């Protein structure tokens, strides 16, 4: 294991390329964490978002997610999750459950994403994101998500791997609590 301090190779507005030994990787320049929200309605619908992602040159189906500490470096992960859910979808939630933290792409980045399950949803705003974000909200019955994603892929849309990881983490949490 290489424990040398990383060297910054490049730093942009949001990303930094670092080098540790001979390994180059991406890291966030202005964030204390990353959050992702599995928002579930009581009737079993899951809230998904769709937005254009320049690296993919197309639309990506995702869970609501974002950075913690990018504006206020004292922001907690839970506060960031609540903020992102409301900004992106227009929903707030009564109950929040912390799920696992996972490495998103450990060969490329040091990013670790913490998942949250949000229940007891209530519409409080229009959603759609902030600034230049243009987010579409989809509400899909959980048991129909695989077929829905397959149909979206046939139309050229991409699926974020974190969507699948989040749904899995939420299902394990729910089975543990009800089983």
Q: What is the pLDDT of residues 48-63, one digit of tens each?
A: 999 999 999 999 999 9
Q: Please tell me the distance from the alpha carbon of residue 92 to that of residue 86, in angstroms, as a whole number.
A: 6
pTM: 0.93
Q: Please tell me the distance from the alpha carbon of residue 135 to that of residue 116, in angstroms, as a whole number.
A: 20
Q: What is the pLDDT of residue 29?
A: 87
Whether 179 shows a pLDDT value over 70: the answer reads no
- Distances in Å between the alpha carbon of 98 and those of 20, 37, 67, 95? 31, 9, 16, 10
Phi-psi label, residue 128: left if phi above 0, alpha if psi -120 to 50, beta otherwise: left
Maximum Cα interatomic distance, the chain, rounded to a whole number of Å: 51
Q: What is the pLDDT of residue 133?
A: 83
60 — phi, psi (to 5°)? -125, 135
Instruction: Count CA atoms within 13 Å of residue 56 on its CB side.
Output: 15
- Tell me the pairing of strands 58-62 and 158-159: parallel
Q: What is the pLDDT of residues 153-172, one digit of tens each?
A: 999 999 999 999 999 999 99
Q: What is the pLDDT of residue 42?
A: 96
What pLDDT band is residue 70 in, cutting at 50, 70 and 90? confident
What pLDDT band is residue 2 in, cutting at 50, 70 and 90? low
What is the full DSSP assignment across 12-58?
-SSEEEEEETTEEEEEESS-SEEEEEEEE-TTSEEEEEEEEEGGGTE
Q: Is 48 exposed, middle or buried (0-12, 13-18, 19+ CB in 10 A)?
A: buried
What pLDDT band is residue 131 in, cutting at 50, 70 and 90? confident
């Amino acid at each position: 294991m290489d424990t040398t301090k990383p060297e910054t190779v490049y730093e942009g507005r949001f990303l930094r390329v670092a080098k540790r030994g001979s390994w180059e990787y991406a890291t966030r320049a202005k964030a204390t964490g990353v959050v992702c929200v599995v928002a579930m309605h009581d009737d079993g619908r899951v809230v998904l978002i769709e937005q254009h992602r320049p690296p993919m040159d197309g639309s990506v189906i995702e869970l609501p997610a974002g950075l913690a500490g990018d504006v206020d470096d004292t922001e907690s992960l839970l506060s960031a999750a609540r903020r992102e859910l409301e900004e992106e979808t227009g929903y707030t939630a009564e109950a929040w459950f912390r799920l696992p933290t996972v490495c998103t792409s450990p060969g490329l980045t040091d990013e670790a994403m913490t998942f949250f399950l949000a229940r007891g949803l209530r519409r409080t705003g229009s959603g759609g994101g902030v600034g230049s974000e243009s987010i579409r909200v989809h509400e899909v019955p959980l048991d129909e998500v695989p077929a829905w994603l397959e149909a979206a892929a046939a139309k050229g849309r991409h699926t974020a791997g974190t969507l699948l990881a989040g749904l899995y983490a939420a299902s394990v949490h729910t089975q543990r609590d009800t089983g």
